[in-house]
Amino acid sequence: SFKRIPSIHQWNCSALIQTKRMTDSYFDISGVSYDRSLPVFSPEHLQGICSAKNGPSNENRLKEIFMIFKAECGEQIEALECYSGELFEADLQSMIHFIGGGAANFGFTRLSALCRAVETAILRRAPYNLDACKVVIKAEYGLACRVFSTSSLVQ
């Protein structure tokens, strides 16, 4: 039921949410605006780590670091899914900031931009759709992980 778009920056992540068709409108969040035209992953962000002069062990190190990112951000994604507003917004902001910071460090441009936009909405006390934020952050996280895993940097 999900179609795969050829551009690596626009893949649909069917494994994450199987009940809805993930179109551009699916990623619209009331009260939050981020640029979906940004690349999911900017491999040039990590080129220095993986350059030939640094040797092949850096590819393994990069994979290890990615697994740490995936595990730690995955925990934050799970916590975010369980968040129902009973905690302080500072706790929500902290979860989103953690995910966005990890995404920025890895070159996951679009996930980072999304997290910045949600965090800005929280700080400005602007109305936003929390449930949509949870779903879209999880989808963008899954998409970023999938794109990275198929990157030539770790093949």
Alpha helices in 19-88 (DSSP H): 57-82
- Alpha carbon 130 to chain centroid, angstroms: 16
Q: Dump pLDDT digits (tens) for 16-36.
A: 333 344 555 667 788 898 888
Nearest residue to 138 (alpha-carbon basis) of 70, 58, 56, 85 = 70
Q: Return averaged pLDDT per consecutive 10 residues of the chain, 155 residues in all.
A: 31 35 66 89 76 64 90 94 79 94 94 95 88 92 93 74
The Cα 127–Cα 14 span in angstroms is: 29
Fill in the amino acid letter for 95. M
What is the structure's pLDDT at 24?
A: 59
Classify residue 82 by burial, with Cβ atoms within 10 Å: 0-12, 13-18, 19+.
exposed
Nearest residue to 110 (alpha-carbon basis) of 1, 20, 7 = 7
Model confidence pTM above 0.75: yes
What number of other Cβ atoms are within 10 A of residue 74's Cβ? 15
What is the structure's pLDDT at 27?
A: 75
What is the structure's pLDDT at 2?
A: 30
